[in-house]
Structure 1
Amino acid sequence: MSKKTLSWIAGLIAVFCILTGFSQPDIEDQAHILNKETRNLIMAKNARYWQTGEQPQIVVKTVNRLDKLTPKALNKSDKTVFIVVGVKGKKRNVQIYSTKDLHGAFTAEVRMNIIRAEADKLRSSNNATFNQGLRFVFRAVATKIDQEYQYTLDKYDLSDKEQSKISHPHKVALPIALALALVVMGLVYLFRRVRSDPNNQ
């Protein structure tokens, strides 16, 4: 193969990478905590996004620190959401960042509710459990993007039941609060009965 042909192929590859957004990788796992199932989900969903006109992207990064998680590429990117995981020892800190064009879909409340919905799993020191929680966060972000661009929801998106955990986080805690209220009312009732019983005097 001639040098001219090689140069031509290299030029085509470079143009392809720029046009398709491959210049920003989907996965940067510095902390080495992402398992195969999580990686496959990230790559599969982003592969679908490359086929759209808007070509949004979800980047998942892990770093070996718990603070200063804002991605350097945030202000230089478009139509991108970054899920950043800070890792130090057994501690994990998961944050969601979106580019300016997606701020409307990813308000502070939305980002907080997504993370809060799987908080227990995201705090787990068990890697499989943590990855399960991280996949939920990724799928939640993907669902928001699909809704924002009016894409048809697919198998990678959250179900209606899962979406309700984010839309109405207080509903998850409501049954527990009601149960506690019933227990307290029962104890108060028993306490009053005991005090009013003449046999106990």
Structure 2
Amino acid sequence: MRFPWVALCSWEGNSVVCKRAMRGWLAAVALLWTLVLCRGLRRPMPHPHVPCYSAGDLHDGEAPAPLLSRSLRWDHYVPVQLVPQLERLQDSPGHRRHRRHKELACPALQLRTGLHSEPHERSISPWRYRIDEDEDRYPRKLAFAECLCSGCVDVKTGRETTSLNSVAIYQTMMVLRRKPCPRPAGPGLVTFEVDYIRVPVGCTCVLPRTRR
């Protein structure tokens, strides 16, 4: 009987050398391994485990209780603390009339009544608060500061001056974003992802930018 691989071998001394056969065998193994790797790369990667929630798990659209751990104390943030006060203020009839007649107007500084007013009212860069609402965010409602002046209030005259500029001061705040669950989760399920946003919390005076 004659084996096909014998033709590729030769005698050298007392041993048989099959150089060409060995190289061909290694090439075949390398090709097979490459095909296996390519097939594995084409296979879709499984989604990591993502907790999903139904509408019954969410109370009034809020985040589920397991996500509201002690480390996520949103009640320590001023933008969260001010929301109930702003809602009560918005419900008062006098406030609604005041907002209709006065929209983002730079106020004159009242030195006599300044001691009895809030810091955002007696600042030389005054601001007001509004409620920013986002249904896909938790906390859903946040108090955002809005500068009332483009310039700043002169402490001598009590009037706005353009020698200084009013700019917002921002605080970075962690929130949760509600998003649809990745497949193959059931329809209507949602998940929450951590996000960081910049919330305007006040205003201050700065020197105007000059062109060089």
TM-score norm. by structure 2 comes to 0.19
Larger strand proportion, structure 1 or 2? 2
Which structure carries more relative contact order (alpha carbon 8 Å, separation 6+)? 2
